[in-house]
């Protein structure tokens, strides 16, 4: 009877396979993804630091070049050995060579500031010299501070059309010198802007000591003028570069920051984590795709394997059902040298033994039926023999009386002798039938086989001859008596002879009963 909650073993195998494969693939995918992400994170941090240090070094180089040129320009403007014409020619040449220079202002103690400007650049931006000079006057660069710091760089943009920085350097070492002079150069921010815009991946920027942007690769951030740094200036002085992870406008970022060791500037490069880990996400997608393909392959392989594994079990189930219906001629193919193959082989042996037992049972049932038939025949024969015995006794008595009165040698005497002989024979057969049908207890005793054979032949000879079968009895006269029950032994012999006659069919034949002593 099939269970209502039947759950095929192949489904169990498939689910177990999928579970194991899913767990293993998930663990491997997670581990690989985590390792790759960590490796990528370390790489991005290192790369950000390297880019920050590289940008810092290049910005220092640019500003150092500005400083050297401004020092030469300051010496030229304050040189007393040059006349006005020579000074003008030299300054014109310097301005042509110094790309991005907007103007230069020389300050002296107790002296008016001396300045030279690129009027074309100022005119294009819509400003004049006074606008720049007034801004410098409002926030002057103090001599003592210049001597201490050696240089100051600030964003001193007057008009958005002309973003520029002010680079202030001392021309003398002693601020108490009555002839102390300093130079302030006003330079366009184009070179620094090109530097921070060079990377296609990172957002770069340069910040002055006041937190104002000198350059930024993002125009929107540059327009704001300032940027919030996730690091402190004091942290940058102790390391070549620092990397930080932070959020900017709810966007996770990775930033690298470096101190160019020049005028307290700060150089930074930043990259959104989404862009930094784009390759990680692609790798994760590929790993996920591979994992899904592995799951599909595992499902297919598991299904095929489960089907192949459970197919012999299905054959065993079908064969078992046939056996339940009494069909013992089934055989299960042994297709594998494993536990299921051993089970199939044992099943075949069991079926063979069941088939043998069934055949023996059928034979025993046939013998039982035949025995019952013989018992019924014996009872019937006993009744018939009992009824026939008395008439036979009367016939025999009459024949014997008539035989005494008849003359010997006459036809009547011969006929009466024949009647007497055959009547005795019939009487003997009837007595054997009565003896055969008599119910006796199975008492074993020394029994002579020869009389039993003779009585058996007397009982069945007539029936055998009717069916065209001739009985031959070959008795060993030296056969000793045996321990047996005479009646049961005779019943067995009658069954054997009758079975032999029935097995010959209508064609007839010979039945031989032979006794022989086994040494």
Residues 435-459, mean pLDDT to the nearest whole number: 76
57 burial (CB, 10 Å; 0-12 / 13-18 / 19+) is middle
Q: What is the pLDDT of residues 262-282, one digit of tens each?
A: 999 999 999 988 877 776 667
pLDDT at position 472 over 60: yes
- What pLDDT sits at residue 194? 93
Do strands 203-207 and 266-272 pair parallel, antiparallel, or not at all (unpaired)? antiparallel
Q: Is residue 505 part of a domain?
A: yes
Residues 517 and 434 both lie in one domain: no
- What pLDDT sits at residue 167? 95
Find the DSSP H helices in 334-410.
Answer: 339-405
- What pLDDT sits at residue 68? 93
Q: Is residue 303 part of a domain?
A: no
Q: What is the pLDDT of residues 105-131, one digit of tens each?
A: 999 877 888 899 999 999 999 999 999
Provide the β-strand partners of residue 181.
108
Q: How many whole angstroms from its chain centre is CA 43?
A: 33
Q: Is residue 297 part of a domain?
A: no
Q: Are 182 and 170 in contact (CB under 8 A)?
A: yes
Q: What is the pLDDT of residues 136-173, one digit of tens each?
A: 989 998 888 888 888 999 999 999 889 999 999 998 77
Residues 264 and 411 both lie in one domain: no
| Per-residue pLDDT band at 5 (split at 50, 70, 90) | low
228 vs 225: CA distance, rounded Å:
11
- What pLDDT sits at residue 79? 85
Residues 487-506, mean pLDDT to the nearest whole number: 82
Q: Is residue 289 part of a domain?
A: no
Residues 85 and 212 both lie in one domain: yes
Nearest CA among 174, 213, 178, 217 for reference residue 195: 217
Domain boundary among 246, 262, 281: 281
- What pLDDT sits at residue 354? 79
Residues 451 and 430 both lie in one domain: no
Q: Is residue 200 part of a domain?
A: yes
pLDDT at position 460 over 60: yes
Q: Is residue 71 part of a domain?
A: yes
Q: Are 330 and 316 in contact (CB under 8 A)?
A: no
Q: What is the pLDDT of residues 343-376, one digit of tens each?
A: 777 878 887 787 788 788 888 887 777 777 766 7
Q: What's the CATH number where 466 sits?
A: 3.30.565.10
pLDDT at position 436 over 80: no
Residues 246 and 392 both lie in one domain: no
Residues 187 and 277 both lie in one domain: yes
| Per-residue pLDDT band at 494 (split at 50, 70, 90) | confident
Rounded to the nearest integer, the mean pLDDT of the chain is: 83
403 vs 415: CA distance, rounded Å:
9
Residues 365 and 382 both lie in one domain: yes
Neighbours of 427 (CB within 10 A): 17
pLDDT at position 412 over 90: no
- What pLDDT sits at residue 164? 93
| Per-residue pLDDT band at 437 (split at 50, 70, 90) | low
| Per-residue pLDDT band at 1 (split at 50, 70, 90) | very low
Residues 139 and 184 both lie in one domain: yes
**Residue that wins the pLDDT comparison between 66 and 15:** 66
- What pLDDT sits at residue 215? 93
pLDDT at position 439 over 60: no
Domain boundary among 281, 296, 320: 281
For residue 342, the enclosing domain spans 334-439
417 vs 269: CA distance, rounded Å:
149
265 vs 259: CA distance, rounded Å:
6
- What pLDDT sits at residue 442? 61
Q: Are 458 and 429 in contact (CB under 8 A)?
A: yes
Q: Give the DSSP letter of residue 189.
A: S
- Three-state DSSP state, 168: strand
Residues 133 and 18 both lie in one domain: yes
pLDDT at position 386 over 70: no
Provide the β-strand partners of residue 205.
216, 268
**Residue that wins the pLDDT comparison between 162 and 287:** 162
pLDDT at position 179 over 80: no
Q: Is residue 88 part of a domain?
A: yes
Residues 201 and 345 both lie in one domain: no
Domain boundary among 439, 472, 497: 439
Residues 475-504, mean pLDDT to the nearest whole number: 82
- What pLDDT sits at residue 104? 94
Total number of domains constituting the chain: 3
Q: What is the pLDDT of residues 183-234, one digit of tens each?
A: 999 999 999 999 999 988 888 999 999 889 999 988 878 877 888 888 888 8
383 vs 230: CA distance, rounded Å:
128
Residues 172-180, mean pLDDT to the nearest whole number: 72
Residues 454 and 396 both lie in one domain: no
Residues 276-300, mean pLDDT to the nearest whole number: 77
- Three-state DSSP state, 229: coil
Q: What's the CATH number where 338 sits?
A: 1.10.287
Residues 405 and 256 both lie in one domain: no
447 vs 515: CA distance, rounded Å:
14
């Amino acid at each position: 009877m099939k269970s209502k909650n039947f759950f095929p073993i192949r489904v169990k195998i498939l689910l177990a396979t999928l579970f194991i494969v899913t767990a293993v693939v998930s663990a491997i995918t997670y581990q690989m993804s985590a390792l790759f992400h960590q490796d990528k994170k370390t790489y991005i941090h290192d790369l950000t630091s390297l880019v920050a240090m590289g940008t810092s070094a290049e910005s220092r180089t640019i500003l150092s070049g500005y400083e050297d040129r401004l020092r030469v320009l300051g010496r030229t403007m304050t040189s007393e050995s040059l006349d006005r014409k020579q000074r003008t020619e030299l300054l014109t040449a310097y301005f042509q060579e110094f790309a991005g220079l907007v103007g230069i202002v020389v300050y002296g103690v107790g002296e008016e500031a001396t300045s030279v400007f690129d009027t074309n650049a100022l005119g294009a931006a819509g400003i004049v010299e006074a606008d720049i000079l007034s801004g410098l006057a409002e926030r002057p660069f103090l001599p003592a501070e210049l001597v201490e710091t050696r240089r100051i760089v600030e964003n001193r943009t007057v008009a958005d059309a002309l973003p520029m920085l002010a680079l202030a350097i001392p021309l003398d070492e002693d601020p108490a010198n009555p002839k102390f002079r300093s130079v302030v150069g006003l330079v366009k921010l184009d070179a620094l802007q090109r530097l921070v815009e060079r990377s296609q991946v990172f957002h770069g920027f340069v910040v002055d000591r006041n937190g104002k942007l000198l350059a930024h690769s993002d125009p929107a951030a540059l327009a704001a003028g300032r940027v919030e740094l996730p690091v402190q200036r004091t942290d940058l002085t102790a390391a070549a570069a620092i990397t930080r992870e932070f959020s900017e406008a709810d966007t996770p970022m990775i930033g690298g920051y470096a101190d160019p060791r020049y005028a307290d500037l700060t150089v930074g490069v930043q990259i959104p984590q989404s862009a930094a880990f784009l390759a990680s996400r692609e790798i994760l997608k590929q790993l996920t795709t591979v994992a899904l393909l592995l799951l599909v392959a595992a499902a297919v392989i598991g299904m095929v394997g489960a089907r192949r594994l459970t197919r012999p079990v299905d054959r065993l189930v079908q064969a078992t059902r046939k056996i339940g219906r009494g069909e013992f001629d089934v055989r299960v193919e042994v297709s594998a040298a494993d536990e299921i193959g051993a089970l199939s082989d044992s099943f075949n042996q069991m079926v063979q033994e069941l088939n043998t037992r069934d055949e023996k049972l059928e034979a025993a049932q046939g013998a039982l039926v035949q025995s019952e038939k013989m018992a019924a025949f014996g009872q019937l024969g006993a009744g018939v023999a009992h009824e026939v015995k008395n008439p036979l006794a009367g016939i025999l008595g009459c024949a014997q009386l008539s035989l005494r009165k008849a003359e010997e040698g006459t036809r009547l005497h011969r006929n009466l002798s024949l009647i007497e002989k055959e009547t005795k024979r019939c009487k003997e057969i009837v007595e054997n039938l009565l003896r055969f049908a008599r119910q006796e207890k199975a008492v074993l005793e020394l029994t002579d086989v020869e009389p039993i054979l003779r009585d058996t032949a007397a009982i069945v000879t007539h029936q055998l001859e009717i069916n065209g079968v001739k009985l031959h009895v070959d008795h060993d006269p030296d056969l000793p008596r045996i321990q047996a029950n005479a009646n049961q032994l005779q019943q067995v012999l009658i069954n054997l002879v009758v079975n032999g006659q029935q097995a010959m069919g209508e064609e007839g034949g010979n039945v031989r009963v032979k006794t022989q002593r086994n040494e």
